Amino acid sequence: MKQTGTILIVDDEEDILITLKIFLKQHFERIFTESNPQHLPRLLRQYEPDVVLLDMNFRKGDTSGEEGLQWLQKTLELKPGIQVIMITAYGEVEKAVRALKTGAVDFVEKPWRNEKLLATVQSACKLSQSRQELQHLQTRQRALTEHLDSSAGDIVGTSPAMLEVYKTIEKVAGTDANVLVLGENGTGKELVARAIHRRSLRHDQAFVNVDLGAIPETLFESELFGHKKGAFTDAKEDRAGRFEAAQGGTLFLDELGNLSLPMQAKLLAALQNREIVRVGSNHSIPVDIRLVCATNMPVYDMVREKTFRQDLLYRINTVEIQLPPLRAREGDIALLAGHFLKQYARKYQRAALELHPAALQKLEQYAWPGNIRELRHAVERAVILSERSLLTPGDFLLHPDFHQSADFFQTDARLNLEEMEKKLIQRAMTKYQGNISKAADELGLTRAALYRRLEKHSI
């Protein structure tokens, strides 16, 4: 079976061109030949070869190899990264070495051995195609990242608390400092991480998002560091982990507070050494990433309780960003509601929609325990279900227990964060009669995260 690939042979001897074409045609799909190197620029554009076989000398009696080197340089300028193999006469190894230093991938001597010639061309062709595939994947990754960023959108808000967040993002984005984003569920921690990445020097590289709360402890190393084929039962092939996937870019570790102490130790070792080892391998792989972490859990309390490593906390929070809950963002509820209203009106092809003042008042009096995520869902639901262009209070189905934010958050001064979280979960579970999916959606949690909290609070 012929190997996919395009080979261009440039030599002034017709016999050489014919011989090489007949031989290589048996192994590659497309072979083109040319005796005049002046046509190289046109042929490179026309055929887009994977490999060029280029003679060292083109003028009769010339053995200096200078012309071949000049055309080698020209070829590399016109098509950077192309694989060029030089054809040299016997005894011109020194000139061939000069060609390698100039940028040729290899050389073959006249007269050549077919086996060695074929192996050389096949290797160069595979290398060329691998590089093209890598460039294609990088292009797709950039396009995907841009799409995700545009889908996620920019951070919306003009409250004093959010203006402080913006200032910090601008200051830290251009550095490689590790960032820890703290805030309740649904406050937009991933948006902050993406904003930092977009404004960083790594913006054209990958942004890799990892939900640590969704990774079982048994798969932690495999997911983050990768594995070798056969490392465990389901490891049917080599696989890169999230650290490698984020190489040169930004690694965003969400739900950091859910890591057990053994998992924390493994993460700390990778961050300290700036290298990882795939499961089943003894070979260390250097990693170059920008780290952004996020959690909704009280990590400083956890450090005091010895459930979170202090050295890991120091490692990840060179700069800390505290995201305010929606109820503390004066004026932003109206701004966000209008933003989501336009967004979902376009998505669901609804005519221009407006909020009735009474509906906006209802939204502003609500406590939003699920923060921005809950507000977005509420607006989307209203856009879908309402048959009018003016949305009224009745279009927004909010939990009655949370209508008066002051009552809920201030009536019992003895409530601490853990007790408040437990009470919220109990109310959600009661409301939905134990339905995990609905309760998790109401609270702005994943099913896995809700299961962990149910276990933590013995609910």
DSSP codes joined into one string, 346-403: HHTTPPP-EE-HHHHHHHHHS--TTHHHHHHHHHHHHHHH--SSEE-GGG----GGGS
Report the SS3 class of residue 61.
Answer: coil
- DSSP classification of residue 256: G
The helix-helix angle for 66-78 and 93-102 (nearest 10°) equals 20
Element (H, E) at 135: helix 114-152
Q: Are 273 and 233 in contact (CB under 8 A)?
A: no
Of 46, 57, 34, nearest to 79 by C-alpha is 46
Domains and CATH numbers, the chain: 3-132 (3.40.50.2300), 153-322 (3.40.50.300), 326-456 (1.10.8.60)
| Other CB atoms within 10 A of residue 363 CB | 22
> Given this model, what pLDDT does residue 401 score?
56
**Per-residue tens of pLDDT for the chain, all 459 residues:** 788 889 999 998 899 999 999 999 999 989 999 999 999 999 998 988 999 999 988 877 677 778 889 999 999 998 888 999 998 876 667 777 888 888 999 988 888 889 999 999 999 998 888 887 776 666 556 555 555 554 445 789 999 999 999 999 999 999 999 999 999 999 999 999 999 999 999 998 999 999 998 898 889 999 999 988 888 877 778 888 999 999 999 999 999 999 999 999 999 999 999 999 999 988 889 999 999 999 999 999 999 999 999 999 999 999 999 999 999 998 999 999 999 999 999 999 988 899 999 999 999 999 999 999 999 999 999 999 998 999 999 999 887 655 544 444 444 434 566 777 788 888 888 777 778 888 887 787 777 778 788 878 878
Residue type, 84: V
Residues 6 or more apart from 203 whose CB is under 8 A from it?
197
Of 299, 297, 323, 298, nearest to 187 by C-alpha is 323
Burial call 161-182: b when 16+ CB within 10 Å, e when fewer: ebeebeebbeebbeeeebbbbb
Within a 13 Å sphere around the CA of 134, how many CA atoms are in the beta-carbon half?
Answer: 9
List the structure tokens of 296.
């909704």
SS3 content of the chain, % helix, strand, coil (to 5): 55, 15, 30
* Cβ neighbourhood burial of 101 (10 Å; 0-12, 13-18, 19+): exposed
> Given this model, what pLDDT does residue 59 score?
76
Tell me the CA distances in angstroms from 16 to 61, 245, 272, one per residue in order: 16, 45, 57
Residues 6 or more apart from 128 whose CB is under 8 A from it?
5, 50, 51, 81, 82, 83
Residue 83 sits at φ, ψ, to 5 deg, of: -90, 115
- The C-alpha angle 322, 369, 346, rounded to 5 degrees, equals 90
Q: Are 293 and 256 in contact (CB under 8 A)?
A: yes
Q: Are 289 and 243 in contact (CB under 8 A)?
A: yes
d(CA 253, CA 209) in angstroms, rounded, equals 6
d(CA 340, CA 355) in angstroms, rounded, equals 11
Torsion angle of the four alpha carbons 393, 398, 400, 402, in this order, in degrees rounded to the nearest 10:
-110
Burial call 207-246: b when 16+ CB within 10 Å, e when fewer: bbbbebbebeeeebbbbbbbbbeebeeebeeebebbbbbb
d(CA 5, CA 327) in angstroms, rounded, equals 61
The helix-helix angle for 371-385 and 332-347 (nearest 10°) equals 40
> Given this model, what pLDDT does residue 409 score?
45
Q: pTM here? A: 0.61
Of 5, 43, 40, 48, nearest to 24 by C-alpha is 5
Report the SS3 class of residue 190.
Answer: helix
> Given this model, what pLDDT does residue 259 score?
93
- The C-alpha angle 75, 80, 82, rounded to 5 degrees, equals 70
- The C-alpha angle 32, 35, 36, rounded to 5 degrees, equals 115
Element (H, E) at 20: helix 14-24
Mean pLDDT over each residue of the chain, to the nearest integer: 87
